[in-house]
Amino acid sequence: MQQHAKPEFIRAEKREGDAELDAHMFRQALAQFATGITIITTKNAEGKYVGVTANSFNSVSLHPPLVLWSLSKKASSHDAFAAATHYGVSVLSADQEDLSHHFSTFKGDRFAGVEVIEGLGGAPLIPHALAHFECKVRSRYDEGDHFIMVGEVLRCDFREGEALVYRSRKYFRN
């Protein structure tokens, strides 16, 4: 049997007297977890589309069908999502990396020139995504520097294809 060298870990630990765990180290550790990439969308009070790139999307329950995601309280879209009754989730395919960048960095109208399909509650969906989840907001939780939004899935669709995956601040195809 071949012996493998024990991997060296970089460790961060909250010690007595520390206010909290080192944020940079915590973020580095989280970056080791590979996730899919989504664009989460809604319509604000003025009827304008709002959207962000998120990798915090996750399933919660099958009965009833529930999903969740989280958003920084500092995000420019925070107020729109905090007031939303519905939101849409588009799970990006491997060839939609440009949209992921666009919705995570662009400061103007993120939907200018972007094709959308209007979903339930007016939340826009990104065409050609691998899956869509159309959600009614069920609950919101204020935690730390983020808020967590739980949605009941009212409608979903999907297709086969390669997913856009994110790990260690890099994109991959599955």
Nearest Cα to Cα of residue 57 among 150, 144, 143: 150
- Note the pLDDT tens digit of each residue in 116-172: 999 999 999 999 999 999 999 999 999 999 999 999 999 999 999 999 999 998 998
- Per-domain residue ranges of the chain: 35-173
- Note the pLDDT tens digit of each residue in 33-69: 899 999 999 999 999 999 999 999 999 999 999 999 9
For 96-163, what is the HEC assignment?
Answer: HHHHHHHHHHCCCCCCCCCCCEECHHHCEECCCCCEEEEEEEEEEEEECCEEEEEEEEEEEEECCCCE
The answer to whether domain 35-173 has CATH 3.30.300.30 is no
**Tokens at residue 129, please?**
């995504």
- For residue 80, the SS3 value is helix
- Note the pLDDT tens digit of each residue in 7-38: 787 777 778 877 788 888 888 888 888 999 99
**DSSP structural state of residue 95:** G
Cα angle 72-67-42, degrees, rounded to a multiple of 5: 55
Give pTM, 2 decimals: 0.89
CA distances to 75, 83, 107, 137, 155 from 120, in Å: 24, 16, 26, 12, 8
